Amino acid sequence: MTAIDLADAYRTMAVYRRFEEAVGAAVVTGEVHGEMHLGIGQEAIAVALRAMLEPTDAVVSTHRPHLHALALGVDPVALLAELLERSGLSGGKGGHMHLFSRDPQFMCTGIVGASAPLACGDALAQQRRDPGRVTVAVAGDGSMNQGAVFESMNLAALWRLPVVFLCEDNGYGISVRRDVATAGQLADRGTPFGIPGHACDGTDPEAVYAALGPAFERARSGDGPSVVVATCYRFRGHYEGDADTYRPKGEKDDWMSAPRDPLSRLRARLEAAGVPVVELDAADAAAEAEVAGWLEAARSVPFPDVDRVRDDVYAAPGARQGVRA
């Protein structure tokens, strides 16, 4: 395993940050009318994931899925268009929590814990067809208490499925602190099944990359699943609009301070390593421009056709009778 390229990681994280900010802004403009969960503060995990993933791998994500989709290489314009309720990835029917892409293979679900069984099934199908391929099942710290996740770990261990259970531990499930909801250490959750666990600093791409390394290697070589827990912090409320009164101000200030913010921290590190400031500024500017370009492109994607709102329930339209009267 080679090391992660930190300059590249910085560029990408800058894009991720801008991407999520743009989506947040679209909530304010009313282009998004539903619930919206952003991954700001969690970019280091996604960028390390990106460095591990092959285009043929699959990711099954959660209600906070955007950065994982980008990490896998899902078309950002189609993604953004879907988030903006246009005919994007899912034709405007899925929206932010229900993103689906066939190539690369990405999906997510709004039901906490429900990704894990789906990921096992994906891995099962691919295990023989395409050995060496990995399926990543993402979960939050809160989601790790859902029965579906435990059952999936047992199944994945038994069937040696090439699954990486990636837990983004941002310390909260909505307002509920990890220690209120979660007994023990999350990285130990796989141990009863013989699944190795790796805890890491989820604000440092290098640390996440190092933790993901053995997990991916194990999966690719057919030895079965792993658990990786990356500790981080969400910078926004649980959803856009959340008053977020439940997290202490001091805690927030601390995690979001420059020395801990994954982005500014990496920037400082690169600076210290001698990367010229202009180069980093250029990366920021490029990220800004890239996301602006995607946004413009996404905004030109047409809205879904209301006349086809009842299509896609079944393969054949009208397989179930419509509204009467």
Partner 1 sequence: MNAAGSDRRNGSQLVAETLHAEMDRDPSVIVLGEDVAELGGVFGATRRLRRTYGDERVLDTPISETAFVGAAIGAAQAGLRPVVELMFVDFLGVCFDQIMNQMAKARYMSGGAVTAPLVLRSAVGCIGAAAQHSQVLSATFAHIPGLKVAFPASPGDLRGLLLTAIRDDDPVIFLEHKWLLKTRVAELPFCEDLSEPADAVPFGELRRLRDGGDVTIVAAGFMVQLALTAAEALEAEGIRAGVVDVRTLVPLDREGLVREAAAADALLVVDDDYADYGMCGEVIATVAEALGRGAPRLARHALDVPIPANRALEEAVVPSAASIAAAARGLVSASAAQVPA
Ligand X SMILES: Cc1ncc(C[n+]2csc(CCOP(=O)(O)OP(=O)(O)O)c2C)c(N)n1
Orientation of helix 76-83 relative to helix 6-28, angle to 10°: 20
Give the number of C-alpha atoms closer than 13 A to the C-alpha of residue 7, restricted to the C-beta side: 13
Q: Contacting a second copy (CB under 8 A), which of 192, 222, 241, 276?
A: 192
- Considering only the stretches 1-9, 31-39, 48-56, 132-140, report the one whose residues sit in contact with Mg ion under the rule CB under 5 A: 132-140
- The item of Mg ion, ligand X, partner 1, none sharing an interface with residue 119, based on CB under 5 to 8 Å by kind, is partner 1
Per CB under 8 A, contacts with a second copy among 280-299 are none
- The SS3 assignment for 226 reads strand
- The item of ligand X, partner 1, a second copy, none sharing an interface with residue 231, based on CB under 5 to 8 Å by kind, is none
Per CB under 8 A, contacts with partner 1 among 88-117 are 89-98, 100-102, 105, 107, 109-114, 116-117
> Is 170 one of the binding residues for partner 1 (CB under 8 A)?
no
Q: Which residue's entry shows tokens 């969690």?
A: 42
- The item of Mg ion, partner 1, a second copy, none sharing an interface with residue 236, based on CB under 5 to 8 Å by kind, is none
- Smallest distance, Å, CB 159 to a second copy? 9
> Is 174 one of the binding residues for ligand X (CB under 6 A)?
yes
- DSSP calls for 148-171: HHHHHHHHHHHTT--EEEEEEE-S
- Considering only the stretches 2-10, 221-229, 286-294, 311-319, report the one whose residues sit in contact with partner 1 under the rule CB under 8 A: 311-319
Residue 325 CA from chain centroid, whole number: 43
- DSSP calls for 169-194: E-SEETTEEHHHH--S-GGGTTGGGT
- Considering only the stretches 109-117, 129-137, 215-223, 271-279, report the one whose residues sit in contact with ligand X under the rule CB under 6 A: 109-117
Residues contacting residue 148 through CB under 8 Å, at least 6 positions apart: 113, 114, 116, 117
Using CB under 8 A as the binding criterion, the count of chain residues that bind partner 1 stands at 82
What is the chain's Cα-based Rg? 20
Strand partners, 293: none
Order of strands, sheet of 105-108, starting from the edge strand that comes earlier in the sequence: 100-101, 105-108, 58-61, 135-140, 163-169, 226-231, 197-201
Tell me how far CA of residue 313 lies from CA of 38, 68, 111, 305, 309, in angstroms. Answer: 28, 27, 19, 15, 9
- Smallest distance, Å, CB 142 to a second copy? 11
Q: Which residue's entry shows tokens 């791998």?
A: 57
> Is 158 one of the binding residues for a second copy (CB under 8 A)?
yes
- The item of partner 1, ligand X, a second copy, none sharing an interface with residue 193, based on CB under 5 to 8 Å by kind, is a second copy
> Is 26 one of the binding residues for partner 1 (CB under 8 A)?
no
> Is 191 one of the binding residues for a second copy (CB under 8 A)?
yes
Q: Contacting a second copy (CB under 8 A), which of 31, 75, 98, 157?
A: 157
- The item of partner 1, ligand X, a second copy, none sharing an interface with residue 319, based on CB under 5 to 8 Å by kind, is partner 1
169: amino acid identity, one letter? D
**What is the rounded CA–CA span in Å between residue 81 and residue 88?**
5
Site string for a second copy, 117-156 (x = CB under 8 A): ----------------------------xxxx-xx-xx--
Please say which residue, 272 or 319, places its beta carbon nearer to partner 1: 319
Please say which residue, 58 or 266, places its beta carbon nearer to partner 1: 58
Q: Which residue's entry shows tokens 């001698």?
A: 274
Pairing of strands 135-140, 58-61: parallel
Where along the sequence are the contacts to a second copy (CB under 8 A)? Answer: 145-148, 150-151, 153-154, 157-158, 180-185, 188-195
Where along the sequence are the contacts to Mg ion (CB under 5 A)? Answer: 140-142, 170, 172
Where along the sequence are the contacts to ligand X (CB under 6 A)? Answer: 63-64, 110-112, 140-143, 168, 170, 172-174, 234, 238
